Structures are given as structure tokens and as C-alpha cells.
């Protein structure tokens, strides 16, 4: 089993998504936040799941999806995965933006 942790910036991403959705529905905000978190736990058993983030081109930076959201994670080692971002699929990402999150 691989240890999955969340960076502070990724938690902030998820809080922002939840707050935005809560403007229309507290129920769906809570549900979305829980589902994204639960989806990330899939990585405990399958750390190499998903695809390489095309904007970065680094095999250690991968993503899995939930609805329209991209859950971007960093394969730190065979024993550790860090969730570094949760972004809406329509959001433009740059390699610098994603790689900077690895250091936070």
C-alpha cells in the first residue's frame, strides 16, 4: 500500500472548488469534495494510475479524473504519492505551474 498525502495547495484547491459549488448547493459541494478525496484514495493501491500530465511531460506527474476535475499527483517514490493539484479540466496549466507545486 502506498502512502497518499495532500499538499497544502491541493487542499486549498479542493476547498475552493467546494466553496464555489456551495454557492449553488451545499449538498453537491460536500458530495463533490468527498468523491474527489475518495477517488484520490484509489492511488493507495494503484499509484501509477491515470496518465502523464501532457502539459508537463514528466512520467512522475500523473493525473486521474473525477467528473470535470483533474486530480494531479506526483509519484515521489514507490511508497509515496502526493496530490499536488485539483483543477477544473477547462483550466489552462503550464509546466511551471504544476512543477512548482511539487516543491510546496
- Chain segment 44-95, per-residue pLDDT in tens: 999 999 999 998 888 999 999 999 999 999 999 989 999 999 999 888 887 7
Give the pairing type, strands 51-52 and 61-66: antiparallel
Cα–Cα distance measured from residue 71 to residue 77, given in angstroms and rounded to the nearest whole number: 18
Give the global pTM: 0.90
Cα–Cα distance measured from residue 19 to residue 10, given in angstroms and rounded to the nearest whole number: 14
Query: What domains can be seen in the chain, in order of their start residue?
Result: 3-102 (3.30.2310.20)
Instruction: Label residue 103 by pLDDT band (50, 70, 90).
Output: low
- Chain segment 8-52, per-residue pLDDT in tens: 999 999 999 999 999 999 999 999 999 999 999 999 999 999 999
Amino acid at each position: 500500500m502506498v502512502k497518499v498525502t495532500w499538499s497544502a495547495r491541493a487542499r486549498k484547491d479542493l476547498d475552493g472548488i467546494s466553496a464555489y459549488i456551495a454557492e449553488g448547493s451545499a449538498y453537491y459541494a460536500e458530495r463533490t469534495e468527498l468523491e474527489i478525496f475518495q477517488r484520490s484514495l484509489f492511488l493507495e493501491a494503484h499509484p501509477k494510475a491515470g496518465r502523464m500530465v501532457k502539459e508537463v511531460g514528466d512520467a512522475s506527474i500523473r493525473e486521474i479524473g473525477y467528473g470535470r476535475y483533474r486530480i494531479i499527483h506526483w509519484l515521489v517514490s514507490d511508497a509515496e504519492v502526493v496530490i499536488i493539484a485539483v483543477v477544473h479540466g477547462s483550466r489552462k496549466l503550464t509546466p511551471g505551474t504544476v512543477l512548482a507545486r511539487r516543491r510546496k
